Amino acid sequence: MTDGFTQDRRIDTPNGTLHVCSWQPENGHASAAPPIVLFHDSLGCVALWRDFPARLARATGRTVIAYDRLGFGQSDPHPGKLRPTFIHDEAHGDFRALREALGIGRFIAFGHSVGGGMAVACAGAHRDGCVALITESAQAFVEDRTLRGIGNAREAFRQPGQVDRLTKYHGDKADWVLHAWTDTWLADDFADWRLDDDLGRVACPVLAIHGDLDEYGSVLHPQRIAQLTGGSTAILEQCGHVPHREQPEVVLGLVVTTLDRLPRES
């Protein structure tokens, strides 16, 4: 079991039960500082963060919390299709239930890919508690590059045995997970989606991390996130869509530097 891991738990919501895990910074002792909440990507779950949460807890000295959204990982199946507003809705659904169940007051939101958009939505909707926002490879609008990347991935998953990669982490929900990603993003009614309104509600320090070789979005995304929040960007050279796996030390260093700049009580 990963060093620093604390027992997982399940949280009831109106639509189903969520699987949640947390990691402590050292010796299993909880930190009094606001925790970091991780928001996973479109095919992700707690397990696919791998050793990053434990490393993040040790590097920052903070508790790290990650959860499987409804329909993913070890959480209950999703009751239907994703709505076009699903990114914005996360702040008022699963995350609100998580925050209430765990008694989370102040927090830091860290989201990867679509989870970055959800972290933005949560930071904006929960301005009373969010002390910092970090996005990684987040999309801020629907870009041709994003659609090409998703289209290519959809074709790759049609090859024999490819969906088995998802079944390992999502069980019999694997097909739903794949279609929730590809069908939603490639749908005509999602073409005009933008993160602008949620970005306009953010009131905390922001760092937008992005790889210059990201196949699912250009550097226009972090630039827009920074522009609309007054935040900053970190563009990683020779890096693709998963910086925390491709360049973990760089990402950890950026997070530590960002959080060290917060007021002492944060």
**pLDDT tens digits for the chain (266 residues)?**
345 667 689 999 988 999 999 999 876 566 789 999 999 999 999 999 999 999 999 999 999 999 999 999 999 999 999 999 999 999 999 999 999 999 999 999 999 999 999 999 999 999 999 999 999 999 999 999 999 999 999 999 999 989 999 999 999 999 999 999 999 999 999 999 999 999 999 999 999 999 999 999 999 999 999 999 999 999 999 999 999 999 999 999 999 999 999 998 77
Q: Which residue has the tokens 């969010």?
A: 130
- Give the full edge-to-edge strand order of the sheet including 5-13: 5-13, 16-23, 64-68, 36-39, 107-112, 130-136, 206-211, 232-236
Answer yes or no: is 70 within a domain: yes
Answer yes or no: is 266 within a domain: no
The pTM (predicted TM-score) of the whole model is 0.96
Q: Which residue has the tokens 């999309």?
A: 139
Q: Which residues contact 133 (CB under 8 A, 6 or more apart)?
A: 108, 109, 110, 119, 120, 123, 202, 204, 205, 206, 207, 229, 231
Answer yes or no: is 114 within a domain: yes
Answer yes or no: is 174 within a domain: no
Strand partners for 9: 20
Q: Are 209 and 85 in contact, with CB atoms under 8 Å apart? A: no
Q: What is the pLDDT of residue 5?
A: 61
Q: What is the pLDDT of residue 2?
A: 45
Answer yes or no: is 186 within a domain: no
Q: What is the pLDDT of residue 1?
A: 37
Answer yes or no: is 34 within a domain: yes
Q: What is the pLDDT of residue 32?
A: 85
What's the domain count of the chain? 1
Q: Which residues contact 27 (CB under 8 A, 6 or more apart)?
A: none
Any idea what the CATH number is for the domain that residue 250 is in? Answer: 3.40.50.1820
For residue 82, the enclosing domain spans 5-141+194-260
Q: Which residue has the tokens 């009614």?
A: 189
Answer yes or no: is 249 within a domain: yes
Answer yes or no: is 221 within a domain: yes
